[in-house]
Amino acid sequence: MNVDQNLINDIVQGVLQQLQPTAAPVTLSSPSVFLVKEKLWTADLLEDLVPAQVKVVQQLPGTIVTPSGRDYLRQNHIDVIQSENNNGSNTTAGIQTWKVLVVKSASAFESCWPELERSRSTNWNRQQANDVDSAVTETISILCRGEASGVVILTDRPEEAACFANRNHQVRAVATLSADRMKQLKTSLQPNAVCLDPQNLSYMELRQLWRALS
């Protein structure tokens, strides 16, 4: 039986195309936010998928961003927001979520909290932590699962908390006591975990720090 060689070539070409790996599609989740459905972000992936004009990308829960991916986002001044579920829908798209883990509170923080809850730029969620170790463990879990853009740990041992948290490659934790220093760290390191001792800060100092974070 004679078989058309062109037909064979077409079949082989079709099979090869189906076997080639394809990246998860990028979809527009709002007029100014791109949703990247791929769960492992590298610099090469982001360069291929994210258009040059995009400055805000949305990630799904559980997304892992490699060091090269973080460098690409920082170098291209691209902000990342979290999707609240796995289909990318988010009623607060464009508003970042931060969690506050309270190991040690203070009257200045309690005075600031009502204002934080009314924030329109950041969705602040608060929860109690028993000690520094549990706060660090929860911070790592939150960031690795993509539950929030960042975490604030309130403790009387902020340097220790930041040191322990940074043992995980997904965490960029800093300890600071001033809004000016926070602005510098935000520019240079883009921290996703901030450790503070609220007992050493006044109401105005804390208020300025929160504004620097938002």
Q: Give yes or no: residues 162 and 85 share one domain.
A: no
pLDDT at 33: 73
Q: Residue 44 contacts by C-beta under 8 Å, 6 or more apart in sequence?
A: 68
What share of the chain in percent tops pLDDT 90?
32
Cβ neighbours of 82 (radius 10 Å): 22
Measure CA of the first residue to CA of the last residue in the chain; give whole Å.
Answer: 73
Residue 90 within a domain:
yes
Q: What are residue 196's DSSP bridge partners?
A: 154
State residue 5's pLDDT score.
59
Whether 12 maps to a domain, the answer reads no
Residue 209 resides in a domain: yes
pLDDT at 24: 46
Domain co-membership, 49 together with 124? no
Give residue 191's pLDDT.
Answer: 92
In this structure, are 100 and 195 located in the same domain? Answer: yes
* pLDDT for position 92: 46
pLDDT score at 26 = 43
Please list, in sequence order, all residues whose beta carbon lies within 8 angstroms of the beta carbon of residue 190, skipping any fewer than 6 positions away: 70, 74, 172
Question: For position 109, what pLDDT does the model report?
Answer: 93
| CA 65 – CA 169 distance, rounded (Å) | 10
Question: CA–CA distance from 165 to each of 29, 141, 153, 190, 200 (Å)?
Answer: 31, 10, 10, 15, 21
Q: Are residues 106 and 185 in the same domain?
A: yes
What is the domain extent for residue 116? 96-213
User: Is position 144 within any domain?
Assistant: yes
Low-confidence residues in the chain, pLDDT < 50: 15, 18-19, 21-31, 87-93
Please give the tally of structural domains in the chain. 2
Q: Give the model's pLDDT for residue 85.
A: 54
Do residues 88 and 65 make contact, with C-beta atoms less than 8 angstroms apart? no
Q: Give me the phi and psi of 64, to 5 degrees please.
A: -105, 125
Report pLDDT for 32.
59
